[in-house]
Amino acid sequence: SALSTAKTPNIPEEYPPKDSYKNNRQLNIIASIILVCKHLVLFWKQIGYY
Protein backbone atom coordinates (compact mmCIF):
# COMPACT_ATOMS: atom_id res chain seq x y z
CA SER A 1 0.00 0.00 0.00
CA ALA A 2 1.04 3.61 -0.50
CA LEU A 3 2.26 5.81 2.30
CA SER A 4 -0.44 7.55 4.25
CA THR A 5 -0.76 11.25 3.45
CA ALA A 6 -3.34 11.99 6.12
CA LYS A 7 -2.73 15.23 7.95
CA THR A 8 -2.41 15.27 11.69
CA PRO A 9 -5.32 17.02 13.41
CA ASN A 10 -4.74 20.51 14.77
CA ILE A 11 -4.22 20.02 18.48
CA PRO A 12 -4.54 23.20 20.55
CA GLU A 13 -1.38 24.17 22.38
CA GLU A 14 -1.30 24.45 26.15
CA TYR A 15 0.08 27.60 27.70
CA PRO A 16 1.84 27.37 30.00
CA PRO A 17 2.79 23.83 29.01
CA LYS A 18 2.30 21.13 31.63
CA ASP A 19 5.72 19.58 30.94
CA SER A 20 7.61 22.90 31.56
CA TYR A 21 9.17 22.83 28.07
CA LYS A 22 8.76 25.87 25.88
CA ASN A 23 7.24 25.65 22.42
CA ASN A 24 9.80 26.69 19.77
CA ARG A 25 7.15 28.34 17.60
CA GLN A 26 6.00 30.49 20.53
CA LEU A 27 9.60 31.42 21.37
CA ASN A 28 10.26 32.43 17.75
CA ILE A 29 7.17 34.64 17.73
CA ILE A 30 8.21 36.34 20.98
CA ALA A 31 11.79 36.82 19.72
CA SER A 32 10.63 38.41 16.46
CA ILE A 33 8.29 40.77 18.34
CA ILE A 34 11.16 41.82 20.63
CA LEU A 35 13.31 42.61 17.58
CA VAL A 36 10.56 44.79 16.10
CA CYS A 37 9.29 46.36 19.35
CA LYS A 38 12.40 47.10 21.38
CA HIS A 39 10.41 49.45 23.61
CA LEU A 40 8.62 46.34 24.87
CA VAL A 41 11.83 45.21 26.60
CA LEU A 42 12.18 48.62 28.25
CA PHE A 43 8.58 48.42 29.44
CA TRP A 44 9.18 44.94 30.89
CA LYS A 45 12.21 46.27 32.78
CA GLN A 46 10.16 49.16 34.17
CA ILE A 47 7.54 46.81 35.58
CA GLY A 48 10.13 44.34 36.87
CA TYR A 49 9.44 41.57 34.36
CA TYR A 50 12.87 40.32 33.27
DSSP string, 3-48: PP-PPPP-PPPPSS-TTSPPPHHHHHHHHHHHHH-HHHHHHHHHTT
Q: Which domain holds residue 40?
A: 23-50
Residue 2: inside a domain: no
Q: Say whether pTM exceeds 0.85.
A: no
Residue 43: inside a domain: yes
Residue 6: inside a domain: no
Residue 8: inside a domain: no
pLDDT at residue 48, as a whole number: 93
pLDDT at residue 7, as a whole number: 59
- Among 43, 23, 46, residue whose Cα is nearest residue 31: 23
Domain count, the chain: 1
Residue 35: inside a domain: yes
